[in-house]
Amino acid sequence: MPSWSLIAAWLPQLVVAAGGTLKLAVFSYVLGVVAGLLIAVAEMSEHRLLSSTCRVYIEFVRATPILTQLFLIYFVLPSVGIALPEFTAAVIALGLHYAAYMAETYRSGIAGVPRGQREAAQAIGMTRTETLRYIVLPQSVRIIVPPMVNSAISLLKDTSVASLIAAPELMLRANDLTSEYYMPMPLYILAGIFYFVMAYPLSLWARRLERLARRGYGAVHSVSR
């Protein structure tokens, strides 16, 4: 058991490192949201080559570990002249990884709106864009938001993998402090507590959203019955 003064010396460093974790998570999440949207749109396009390229990309990302993807970006890209600093490589690897999952989320959100909704909108004379804008998207948002929050939780936890290419975040700091003090037990438990404090509120929120979405869904069904 480390003394309190030792813990007091570690805490500020871990807080700074947790800031690095949050920064990494937010940057990659934004990249994932935007790139995921582009991939989803491209995949739904009528251009065959474009949509099948997106399909292959999604399958590749979902079938290989994030660690392998991180290594490909950090260790392999330099051999074709693209050497990225650790933090940037981690943002790109995590962002592009989650983009594939988010593209699937968007797709299932749009597919989750019953066909009848679209047909009804077109029957009353709405254009395709109007149908998408006023009928489909508002309903798919309700389907999409809970899995998007779950992705945020997974992403937050996955940022720990970036420590394996020495990107500045919480696990890397815990590793460094461990080699300095050789007290892995308290240090990794502290790191775990930091992750818990960041991830648990998000998971409570996700559960609330899921409950709300399910309630909303039930209401739609009872009306249609």
Partner 1 sequence: MSAWWAQLSLFLGVLFNGAIMTAIVTAGSFIVSMVLGVVSAACATSRSPLLRAISSVYVEVFRAVPILTQLFIIYFGLGSIGIKLNPIPAALAGFGLNGGANLTEVFRGGIGAIDRGQTEAALSIGMTPLMALRYIVLPQAFRIVLPSLTNFAIGLLKDTSLASAVAAPELSFNANALVDRTFRSPEIYILLALFYLAMSLPLSALARNLERRSSRGHRA
Under the binding rule (CB under 8 A), the answer on residue 158 touching partner 1 is yes
Render 134-199 in DSSP notation, one character per residue: IIIHHHHHHHHHHHHHHHHHHHHHHGGGGGGGT-SSHHHHHHHHHHHH--HHHHHHHHHHHHHHHH
CB 83 within 8 A of CB 22: no
Residue 64 lies near partner 1 (rule: CB under 8 A): yes
Task: Output 60 or 134, the one with its CB closest to partner 1.
Answer: 60
Count residues near partner 1 (CB under 8 A).
Answer: 39
Q: Does 59 bind partner 1 (CB under 8 A)?
A: yes
User: Of 27 and 195, which CB lies nearer to partner 1 in the complex structure?
Assistant: 195
Kindly tell me which of 41 and 199 has the beta carbon lying closer to partner 1: 199
Contact indicator for 220, 142 with CB cutoff of 8 Å:
no
Estimate the crossing angle of helix 170-181 against helix 4-44, to 10 degrees: 150
Q: Cβ closer to partner 1: 46 or 221?
A: 221
Contact status: 63 vs partner 1 (CB under 8 A): yes
Q: Does 217 bind partner 1 (CB under 8 A)?
A: no
Distances 225 to 52, 99, 189, 192, 221 between C-alpha atoms, Å:
38, 37, 52, 48, 6
Q: Which residues bind partner 1 (CB under 8 A)?
A: 59-60, 62-69, 71-72, 75-76, 79, 153, 157-161, 163-164, 171, 174, 178, 182-185, 188-189, 191-192, 195-196, 199-200, 203
